[in-house]
Amino acid sequence: MNPKISIITVCYNSETHVEEAIKSVIEQTYENKEYIVIDGGSKDGTLSIIEKYRDKIDYYVSEPDKGISDAFNKGIRAATGDVIGIINSDDKLEKGALQEIANAYENDVDMYRGICYTWNDQTGFMFEEIPTLYWPAIPICIGAAHPATFVSKKAYERLGVFDIDLRYAMDTDLFRRFSKAKAKVKYVDKPLAYFRLGGVSQSDEKKRLKELLYILKKNGNNSVQNAIFWCIYKFRLFVKHLVMSIGGEDFRFKFRKFFNKSL
């Protein structure tokens, strides 16, 4: 199979890391690809970096948007590929990732989920995240692995895109909706992408929790299910802060891996 694969990069004032993200896409050896860059109207050096690679970018726009989800949706609407992946400006594709998706391609698959490396480029810490394929009503032990997720264009058209009112957990909403609709998900047992620690989704835990509770209610959860989720989430935050104070990132993620397996 030789599916066309569209990759979307959204950015805003991203001069520190955007070049690394761009290069990880344009240096993919898989040829039947399309690259889309959606900039939110950057005021720093982001646009000049993008211009360096303009001849390798198939679609590009720089204009104000209504947030990350809106930018994602702009890219999805512009995409003409059979499969669509999203690599944010802080993240990057693994070498050969698009070929792995092409090898796994099946016409009736809605979503492909691969291994994602969570990493801190300042400390050198790296953690392998195995994605969750189907999301339960109370999503506690889940692996988001958003940069290593590829969705068919037909699935977006059938099941919907990102909710533009969400800023912190839009991927949770999308995955939960797809699970409820019994979307066909295929696991790709290969490293596909790197997620850099420190992005918007990690920036405000209280707002993220509030948004997660809204998402779960929106997707049919009752008050008891949300109360259970709230208690477990708060406990995990407490444990996260405790182990970070004791042993840092590496200890925290090893503990999380143990915690997830134990439930």
pLDDT along the chain (263 residues), means of 10: 96 95 97 98 96 97 95 98 96 97 97 91 79 80 85 97 93 92 96 81 74 90 90 76 57 50 43
Q: State the pLDDT at residue 232.
A: 82
User: For position 187, what pLDDT does the model report?
Assistant: 97
Q: Pick from 87, 91, 79, 88: which is nearest to 5 by CA?
A: 79
Q: Is 134 in contact with 110 (CB distance < 8 Å)?
A: no
Given a contact cutoff of 8 angstroms between Cβ atoms, the answer to whether 150 and 193 are in contact is no
Nearest to 128 by CA among 111, 139, 114: 114
Neighbours of 34 (CB within 10 A): 17
Kind of pairing, strands 5-11 and 92-93?
Answer: unpaired
- Tokens 């991927």 correspond to 171
CA distances from 8 to 163, 178, 209, 245 (A): 17, 20, 27, 36
Q: What is this structure's pTM?
A: 0.87
Identity at 196, one-letter amino acid code: R
Q: How many CA atoms are closer than 13 Å to the CA of 169, on its beta-carbon side?
A: 21
Q: What angle in degrees, to the nearest 10, is found between the helix axes of 170-180 and 68-78?
A: 60
Dmax (CA) for the chain in angstroms is: 53
Identify the helix (H) or strand (E) that includes residue 151: strand 149-152
Reading the block at residue 20, the tokens are 């690394």
Task: Select from 161, 153, 169 the least CA-distant residue to 111.
Answer: 153
Which class in CATH covers the domain with range 5-262?
alpha beta
For Cα atoms 121, 26, 10, give the angle at the middle one, nearest 5 degrees.
65
